[in-house]
Amino acid sequence: MSPAQWDLPPELCCRPMAFVALTGLDVVYNAIHRAIWDAFCANRRADRVPISFKVLPGDHEYPKCRTKRTSYEWYIPKGILKTGWMNKHLNLVPALVVLFYELDWDDPQWKEKQSECATKVEIVRTSLQGRNTKVAVVLIQKKTPLPPGEDLVASERASALCGACDLSGKSLFVLPHTDHLVGYIIRLENAFYEHAQTYYYNEIRRVKSHKEFLNKTTHQLLFVRHQFKMGFFSELKQDTQNALKYYRTAYSLVHELRAHETNMLEIKTMAGFINYKICRLCFQHNTPLDAIAQFRKHIDLCKKKIGSAELAFEHTAWMSKQFQSFGDLFDEAIKLGLTAIQTQNPGFYYQQAAYYAQERKQQAGQLCSHEPGVGYPAPDPLETPSGALDFYGQRPWRQGHQSIDPPDSEKEKQGILALQVKERDVLHSELVIALLSNAVAQFKKYKCPRMKSHLMVQMGEEYYHAKDYTKALKLLDYVMCDYRTERWWSLLTSILCTALKCSYLMGQVKDYITYSMELMGRASNLPEEQKSRIEKNLIKVLMNEVPQPEPDCDLASVKTAQSLWSDRISLAGNNEFTIEVQDYVPFVQCKAKFLYPSFHIDEPVQLHVYVRADCPHPVRFSKLCVSLSNQEYNQYCLLEDASKEKDILETSTQENMCLVPGKTRKYCFKFVAKTEDVGKKIEITSVGLMLGRETGRCVYLNWRGGWGDAASSHETLQASRSFKRRTRLPEQQVDWDTVAIQSSTMIISRVPKISVQLTHEPPALTNEMYCMIVTIQSEEDTVAKDIKLTAGLKPGQDANLTQSTQITLNGSEVCDDSHPALLPDIPLGDLQPGQKPLYIHCVSTGSRILLFHVAYSVSATVEGKDINCKCHKDETVTLETVVPFEVAMKFVSSKFEHLERVNVDIPFLLMMDILSASPWPIELVNSEVLLASSMTPIDQPQSQVEGVTLQTSECASECFLLKCPPVQNDTSTVASGHYFISWKRKSAFAETSVVRTMVILPHVMVENIPLYVHAELPSFGRVRESLPVRYHLENRTGLVQDVEIGVEPSDAFMFSGLKQVRMRILPGAEQEMLYNFYPLMAGYQVLPQLNINLLRFPNISSQLLRRFLPSRIFVKVIFFRPQIKNNGRPCFLVFLVGPTLGLRYLTFFFFTFFYQLSK
Amino acid sequence: MNCPLYIRSVPTQGELKFHYTVHTSLDVVEEKISGVGKALADQRELYLGLLYPTEDYKVYGYVTNSKVKFVIVVDSSNTSLRDNEIRSMFRKLHNSFTDVMCNPFYNPGDPIQSKAFDSIVSTMMVQAC
């Protein structure tokens, strides 16, 4: 019996197809026959009818048919199903035999050939004696046949041939050997298929007909057999629905059989077969739930049918196979389009199969561990005359035996022994691993990562049992991290234990150390004594000795391992191992931290490393080193065991290097940072802890980043959440959880000991050279060298500010755009206390931040080390800039009337008002008007505000008399020019420079006027004294102008002259009009109004022209008439100008009184 | 996090196998939780029912709103425990677990060491055996 004895027979697992035998074809030598055969068997896709063809010789001997039983009365069946039966109907007994014969209808030797064909048919018929197999004849013809009915010869000869061969017309076919061979072949095979179906239909009926002869007492086996056969024939007939029905009946019948130890295997085997068929058909019918239900039922029914206790492994092997084959079926169905789910996929069946395979292995281990003397029994009880069994599931030494007790107990014993001996040689682990790996593949597909890991652990363990430690270790190592991250310590511990055994047995030093470290640590839930044992072993390994073997290891393997380990001792080199801790949970924990997040350069950088062990016994280490991002400091962070020669177990004086379980040790390191590192970050890249000795064997535990292994982050989180009260620990001891991590620190520059003071008078005035005095005072103990001042606008402000701010050290001249907004690095040399004036020129208003940065270097001593420290101090100040004054300008007429527009060649005034807005007094040094070409001054313009000092909100005014030369057009807007004010802040604080501020004068509208009128009159008149007034009329056009002039009468004046006149003035000419006014009243009097009408320019009104003329005049009073008095001069003059109206009245009355008196 | 807060089996022999069973059942629990989120249907149902079939044991699952998972594994042959009984066991567990969480000295995420919880589990296990 092969190891595959539990495999299902291939004829059971295949899809049954109708069997059709083809005879009379010479496929070796005849090309035509070959082509026909190829057409039959090539390209058998799903759309072709399911037939299995076979070419057989014409005189092939078909299996003999046994004589049909007429009565079952005395018949006792020997088994359920013969082993050859399925194969016989699939491959040996055809449903139809087709005879190919080359014969054309017009063959010249028709008669002879006809009889030869008949003979051949007869030979086939004889060979199939007793079978219902049909026979058909195919004539291979060279010519294309005519349509049926047209070829009279053909139909006549066809019926003759049918007669000769004893064939029905339906069984005679013609195959013209032409181009359309495949088409003809497909038609032929469809016809064959019909014949085959009829054959199988008849077979089913035949089997069914036996039923009436059977009785339930003796023929129970036959009931099963017949149902199975009918199911099988139905499958051959491709009637799967009925096949399923027959199989289901067969399945229930098989469990009705009387089961006992002797036939248990046969029943289970058949039940397994039928179950397989049912499940297969259910999947084929796309009813997977039916398949699963049937399988569950099958398992429930058969689980307890163990059979012989001495052969219990057979049952588990069978169970395993049941699950496996169902898994295969399920998987096959999925490949054909079925969808499986996470909780119902083939993986579970493979897993269960593996489980039974493991159980089988266990049982085999128990049942087959015979004494060494017991060998395989001498006449092989498993030998059968034919080399195979007659019936499925029977014992070779008692085939056909169906009664309860075995016929020969001695033979039975021998047979069982033979089976047990055979079982002993089976490689169970291989079977288990194969099944597990099948399951792994499935669970991977259906998103079950944990199930997958679990199965891989099982695979690893199975490899371990199979002594394939390399593979075992590989698998276990692969899944370990999953359990570690999920924090299932119980599972991790069990895996680690197996892994440790593997690494021990292979003499893998590094793995051995790694697993030991983890098993001793807090992630392992091994009992203390186990941990203690592992620790002792680890110390041995570190001392380059052979460790004690792990418990429960295979003895032979332990021997090999011991020699491997002793080889390792002599092996020089490669005795240094590095373990990256973040992937494990070793028994040593480490936390490294800088004391502060930043250190000044002039103080030592302090670093603490906390180390703690969780192992049962104290452990010594020989080196502790910290790697920092700047490796130059590493030398200062190193702790080494000075006693290199001493034994590690010996209690040394250096207790410092010993880790006591459960206690946290603190190691302090100090170093002075380099001045280049100012402003840089120093990080702890790793902490290394060396166990063992460099001379023997050593292992470096490497904490990347200075702390943490695979479990730390969660523990830290839990600790941070915890409300647990921390008990105060005695001196020198630290609570592990309270140690916070600070894995990097900044080196920052020394605190400067200087003061920077700014003296100035805010706010700054626009355009002013604003003076700020920077006072730097050193409070250093030693000389502050290389002081450099950077002053100016603080970078990062509005870009416009940069353009409108200029800084200079020279206050004597006003800055321009070439000056920068920030003056960097003004060297001040070594510090002599002093001041530095600085001038700032702010062109625009608003607030701006100014930065004063003082950098210097000073030497300091840290930890007995001289370092040159660079220090700096920043001072910022916000400066407000305001406008110093506002200038208002206006044009007025000579009468101080506001002018919208000025007239050509007529004088007017330009007035300026300077209003101070500065909080500080401003001195106006000078002012100047620079006129544009369109304006000319009438007199020499001279500043009237020179030397004036304005306090806040005071105003200074000045005016200039100007006129405009003629313009091209009648009216045009012209520029006036510029106005410059030179001023400075009047300050006692610092000498300030003069600032010249320019103001652009407004544009003004200039217009020509056709007639210019001006009067010439004295500045005052006297009562009753003639007042000559001369009016000048100038024609400013190129035309002769008609002018009408009239003088309105007035109460205050009498006058002589032309009261109304009309005259002509030639172009450019001037007309003079003389009037003699005679004032009658004193005081301001309105002059008689002059009305001028320009007849050519009606739009120039008299009103407009009158603007040029004085409207009033002051008239003085006379007390004594000069002709009465001798010298003609008034001897007494009262001139009262009252500020109020009341007083004016008084004055008037006074005048009047005197006047009347004199009269 | 899927680390065990409390795990207990009676009898204690072969405990490891059950630890594996519980651990592997988390695959299904996680799948079901993520599925619930999608469907949004019946979110208040915390009981997940039978997680997956094994030959010898039945594995039931339950998830609290804060995604704490409860898993009960019982012998398949124990027919006295039907769905309703399992449901009430889970409810009891959940109540007791809530009490544990209410303890201000209990740090969520730490293994449960409450005696009250332990005794509830013990009584349930006695009933089941």
Burial (CB count within 10 angstroms: exposed 0-12, middle 13-18, buried 19+), residue A1017: middle
Tens of pLDDT, residue by residue over A1083-1099, are 888 888 888 888 878 77
Burial (CB count within 10 angstroms: exposed 0-12, middle 13-18, buried 19+), residue A42: exposed
The secondary structure element, H or E, covering residue A157 is: helix A152-165
Residues A79 and A189 reside in one and the same domain: yes
Please name the residues between 64 and 123 in chain B that touch chain A, using a CB distance below 8 Å: 104-105, 107-110
Residue in A362, A454, A497 to test binding to B, most B beta-carbons within 10 Å: A454
Please, how many CA atoms are within 13 Å of residue A914, restricted to the half-sphere of its CB? 29
A876 and A851 Cβ atoms separated by less than 8 Å? yes
Question: Does A729 score more than 70 pLDDT?
Answer: no
Q: How confident is the model at residue A193 (pLDDT cuts 50, 70, 90)?
A: very high
C-alpha dihedral sign at A163, A168, A170, A173: negative
Find the farthest-apart pair of alpha carbons in chain A and give their distance in angstroms, rounded: 200
In a domain, A275, yes or no: no
Residues A990 and A1074 reside in one and the same domain: no
Chain B hits for A496, CB-CB cut-off 8 Å, are: none
- Measure the CA–CA gap between B70 and B83, rounded to whole angstroms: 15
- Measure the CA–CA gap between A473 and A485, rounded to whole angstroms: 19
- Measure the CA–CA gap between A853 and A826, rounded to whole angstroms: 10
> Higher model confidence: residue A786 or residue A198?
A198
Question: Does A1150 score more than 70 pLDDT?
Answer: no
Residues A22 and A170 reside in one and the same domain: yes
- CATH code of A1112's domain: 2.60.40.10
A42 and A8 Cβ atoms separated by less than 8 Å? no
Q: Which of A96, A94, A103 is nearest to A164 (CA)?
A: A103
Residues A153 and A72 reside in one and the same domain: yes
pLDDT of residue A495: 92
Among A299, A448, A723, beta carbon nearest to B27: A448
pLDDT of residue B36: 56
Residue in B5, B23, B57 to test binding to A, most A beta-carbons within 10 Å: B23
Residues A46 and A169 reside in one and the same domain: yes
Residues A119 and A195 reside in one and the same domain: yes
Residue A935, CA distances (Å) to A905, A915, A973, A1003 in order? 10, 25, 12, 11
In a domain, B8, yes or no: no
DSSP A582: G
Among A449, A494, A723, beta carbon nearest to B16: A494
Given A220, A242, A265, which residue is the final one in a domain? A220
B23 and A450 Cβ atoms separated by less than 8 Å? yes
Chain B hits for A451, CB-CB cut-off 8 Å, are: 24, 27
Tens of pLDDT, residue by residue over A974-1016, are 888 888 888 888 877 767 778 888 888 888 888 878 888 888 8
The secondary structure element, H or E, covering residue A560 is: helix A555-570
In a domain, B106, yes or no: yes
- CATH code of B57's domain: 3.30.450.70
pLDDT of residue A196: 92
Tens of pLDDT, residue by residue over A273-293, are 999 999 999 999 999 999 999
Residues A14 and A61 reside in one and the same domain: yes
Among B20, B26, B110, beta carbon nearest to A718: B110
CA of A582, closest CA in chain B: separation in Å? Answer: 19
In a domain, B118, yes or no: yes
Question: Does A1057 score more than 60 pLDDT?
Answer: yes
Question: Does A1123 score more than 60 pLDDT?
Answer: no
In a domain, A233, yes or no: no
In a domain, A355, yes or no: no
- Mean of pLDDT values over A299-326: 90
Residues A744 and A759 reside in one and the same domain: no
pLDDT of residue A411: 84
Among A450, A714, A718, beta carbon nearest to B27: A450
> Higher model confidence: residue A1144 or residue A688?
A688
In a domain, B77, yes or no: yes
What is chain A's length? 1159
Complete DSSP assignment for B90-128: HHHHHHHHHHHHH-TT--TTSPP--HHHHHHHHHHHHHH
Chain B hits for A491, CB-CB cut-off 8 Å, are: 16, 19-20, 23
How many structural domains comprise chain A? 6
- Measure the CA–CA gap between A242 and A244, rounded to whole angstroms: 5
Among B7, B52, B107, beta carbon nearest to A343: B52
Q: How confident is the model at residue A472 (pLDDT cuts 50, 70, 90)?
A: very high
In a domain, B87, yes or no: yes
Domain that includes residue B86, residue range? 15-124
In a domain, B3, yes or no: no
In a domain, B62, yes or no: yes
- ipTM score over 0.90, yes or no: yes
In a domain, A298, yes or no: no
Residues A56 and A200 reside in one and the same domain: yes
Chain B hits for A488, CB-CB cut-off 8 Å, are: 2-4, 19, 23
In a domain, A973, yes or no: yes
Interchain pair B52, A486: CB under 8 A: no
What is chain B's length? 129
Place of tokens 């002879």: A112
Residues A49 and A67 reside in one and the same domain: yes
pLDDT of residue A834: 57
Place of tokens 């320009």: A1094
- Measure the CA–CA gap between A873 and A677, rounded to whole angstroms: 19
Cα A488-A491-A492 angle, rounded to 5 deg = 80
In a domain, A456, yes or no: no
- Measure the CA–CA gap between A1004 and A521, rounded to whole angstroms: 98
Residue A305, CA distances (Å) to A10, A267, A310, A399 in order? 25, 10, 14, 21
Given A220, A242, A264, which residue is the final one in a domain? A220
- Measure the CA–CA gap between A973 and A902, rounded to whole angstroms: 10
| Token digits of residue A49 | 């009818």
pLDDT of residue A726: 61
At A600 the three-state DSSP class reads strand
Tens of pLDDT, residue by residue over A359-405, are 999 998 888 887 777 778 877 888 877 778 888 888 888 888 777 77
Question: Does A1151 score more than 50 pLDDT?
Answer: no
Domain that includes residue A495, residue range? 467-573
- Measure the CA–CA gap between A402 and A257, rounded to whole angstroms: 11
Residues A944 and A1078 reside in one and the same domain: no
Chain B hits for A718, CB-CB cut-off 8 Å, are: 107, 109-110
CA of B16, closest CA in chain A: separation in Å? Answer: 7
C-alpha dihedral sign at A191, A195, A201, A204: negative
How many structural domains comprise chain B? 1
Average model confidence (pLDDT) across chain A: 82
| Token digits of residue A945 | 């505000």
In a domain, B129, yes or no: no
